[in-house]
Structure 1
Amino acid sequence: MPSLARIENACLSIDVSSLGAEMQAIATREGADWLWNGDAAFWTGRAPVLFPIVGKAPDDTLLIDGKPYAMAQHGFARRREFSLDTAAAARCRHTLEASDETRAVYPFDFRLSVEHSLDGPTLTVAAEVENRGREPMPFGFGFHPAFLWPLPGAEGRPHTVMLANGSEPKRQPLVKGLLSRDRQPSPFEKGRLLLAPGLFENDALVFPEGTGNRLAYGAEGGPTLEFRFENLPNLALWSKPGARFLCIEPWHGTAAEHGGGRELRDRPFANVLAAGERKRFSFTVTFPV
């Protein structure tokens, strides 16, 4: 059975499951909850870690050096049991290593470590991917946390996503879970996106580039969460009609393109690690406390 690790300080309390190294709760010390609760009527996820792919593969099948492998949407890490390597008051680290089971669908010796840490009102979630084999290792990586919408104490207030760079990035629609090759006009105006349920009627909003490394998600005249991203150039925003969450998803690597190839290394923004190399990805979010 999965186990829970709790980290906390004077501002925040975080619960992390060993299953997928996935956060289960984020609460301020005053008792406000900020993370989606995984209501199965809408979506059981809360903050999955996406590896070794982000998004879908055509017919849920990848090619790796020409050989086919079955791979479900967003990869297998979110459904695997991680080991707890570090458990401190304000920091925990979970690790997943390659096994015979993972090699059957992803033929590489990897190590994926996910660390959650607190510094005052700021949470950092950092991941490190290591190629422990002898061959170049392609992969995609992403975070998928779901925050409450509306935010605590902000019922009835307009909510926005504000890009710090003030840009108006074009979006790339999804077609049956795969990326269309078309780019559509940005829903942002001078870096501001007013959230409305209708935005997500046709799945997630995917911005392959141009969103920058900082944004704010908040309620007008109410609480705001401040985000910063490291080595995560792609951004998706997602919700489901009727659900009370907004997923803010920074990625390095996207779904395969509709009508494109199945080779993993050819997916947009794919990473490739040489033997022995490591790569780090992280996001921080600061809460109003």
Structure 2
Amino acid sequence: MTTTIKNVTLSAEIKHFGAELISLKTNQNKEYIWEGNPKFWGKHAPILFPIVGTLKNNSFQYEGTDYSLFRHGFARDMAFELIHSTENSATFTLQSSADTLKVYPFEFELQISYTLEENNLTIAYHVRNKGKSKMPFAIGAHPAFALPNEFENYAIAFEKEEDLEYYILENDLVSNKTERLKVDDKKIPLTYDLFKNDALIFKTLHSKSLTISENENPVLKVHFEGFPSLGIWTKMNAPFICIEPWFGYSDTTESTGDLFEKEGIQILESNGEFQSKYSIELL
């Protein structure tokens, strides 16, 4: 099942399974979201919750019990409920359940809201701790943007001057090894070689937006004010690029397995609430 929202400029389609954005088009029918061809990657823009990335040994410990929780968490693989919609907006919810408590022993509500305004789509996150104890969590976005022409025709421009140091993944975990990207006038040209070691992971950035351009012509801008970390990713020869604002990232190679000690983790008090949002601006 899907829900479509629209305004005079844009339309967006959201799949109820995973509350996942699967289409963002102009009124001229130009598509900006990756089609999800499983030959490369069968997702479009999954919601990453209650972890981002990979846990060491795909597990964590809480109050003496071991729990298994796989890459990027379970929200992307669960059915959300549509609880509110208008012509240009839709809000979905996922509640903790017996199934989620088996792998993540915390009571929560996660709401995802999509709103179209002019040439912008805003995606808002709202997390509530419904339990009586503190709740550790991470949350992140993973939108894949379609790049229909030659990959090397595209570039990413950062909002601000950056010393682009990214962390190398080892067995899907964040190592202590880093590399630097050469930045020319705040831009990095896209090449598949950039992703030879998987995603580029930036724990911190000065920029709060990135612009994708094709042959120097701006295509879209991702605004992520408030998100501390960012991933950029594609697969070899795939015609898309993922711009991923995150609260949290994969375990480090030195992780203890205690979620409360995890780098980048968010902690909500009992009955506490967390809100954040990012937006996609078509240019």
TM range (shorter): over 0.9
Deviations 1:183-213 (A, max 9, x none): 3223434532111111112100101112421
CA shift for structure 1 position 234: 0.4
Q: For the residues of structure 2 that align with 1:5 and 1:199, how far apart are their CA atoms?
A: 36
Q: CA deviation at 1:21?
A: 0.4
Please give the secondary structure, in 1, of the residue aligned with 2:179: coil
Q: Kindly state the Cα deviation for residue 240 of structure 1 after the two structures are TM-superposed.
A: 0.4
Distance 1:230 1:280 in 2: 12
Between the aligned partners of 1:278 and 1:236, the Cα distance in structure 2 is 25
- CA distance in 1 between counterparts of 2:189 and 2:138 reads 29
Which residue does the alignment assign to 2:93? 95
CA contact (8 A) 2:93 2:109 kept: yes
Residue 253 of structure 1 aligns to which amino acid in structure 2? G
For residues 68 and 98 of structure 1, the distance between their equivalents in structure 2, rounded to whole angstroms, comes to: 19
The answer to whether the aligner puts 1:208 opposite 2:206 as a matched pair is no
Instruction: Give the number of aligned pairs.
Output: 283
1:227 to 222, 226, 242: 222
Q: Which residue of 1 aligns with 2:59?
A: 61
Given that residues 50 and 137 in structure 2 are in contact (C-alpha distance below 8 angstroms), is that contact kept between their aligned partners in structure 1? yes
Does 2:166 correspond to 1:171? Answer: yes
Please say if residues 211 and 235 of structure 1, whose CA atoms lie closer than 8 Å, have aligned partners that are also in contact. no
Q: Distance in 1 between matches of 2:231 and 2:7?
A: 30
Q: Which amino acid aligns with 2:198?
A: D
Q: Which of 224, 248, 260 is the aligned partner of 2:243?
A: 248
1:259 match? 254
Aligned to 2:177, the other structure's residue is in SS state coil
Q: Over residues 35-73 of structure 1, what are the superposed CA-to-partner deviations in whole Å (9 max), with x where a residue is unaligned?
A: 001101111110000000000011211223442111110
Alpha carbons of structure 1 residues 59 and 6: separation in structure 2 relative to 1, 3 Å:
same
Query: 8 Å contact 1:170–1:186 — kept in the other structure?
Result: yes
Report the TM-score, using the length of structure 2 for normalisation.
Answer: 0.96
- Of the three residues 6, 9, 13, the one matched with 1:8 is 6
Residue of structure 2 equivalent to 1:84 = 82
1:199 aligns with 2:206: no
Distance 2:182 2:53 in 1: 21
| Matched residue, 2:103 | 105
**AA partner of residue 247 (structure 1):** C
Report the equivalent of 2:133.
135
The superposition leaves residues 97-139 of structure 1 with CA deviations (integer Å, 9 ceiling, x where unpaired) of 0101101111111000000000000010011111011100001
CA distance in 2, matches of 1:221, 1:232: 27
Kindly report structure 1 stretches of 4+ aligned residues shifted beyond 6 Å: none
Give the residue type in structure 1 aligned to 2:107: D
Q: TM-score, normalised by structure 1?
A: 0.94
Q: Which of 247, 254, 276 is the matching residue for 2:271? A: 276
Unaligned runs of 5+ in 2: none
SS of equivalent to 1:36: coil
Task: Give the Å deviation of 1:233.
Answer: 0.9
Q: 2: distance between equivalents of 1:230 and 1:81?
A: 28
Q: Say if 1:162 and 1:193, in contact at 8 Å, map to a contact too.
A: yes
Name the SS for the 1:184 alignment partner. Answer: strand
Aligned match for 1:31, one of 11, 24, 29 = 29
Please list every run of 5 or more consecutive structure 1 residues that lacks an aligned counterpart in the other structure: none
Structure 2 CA distance, aligned partners of 1:229 and 1:189? 22
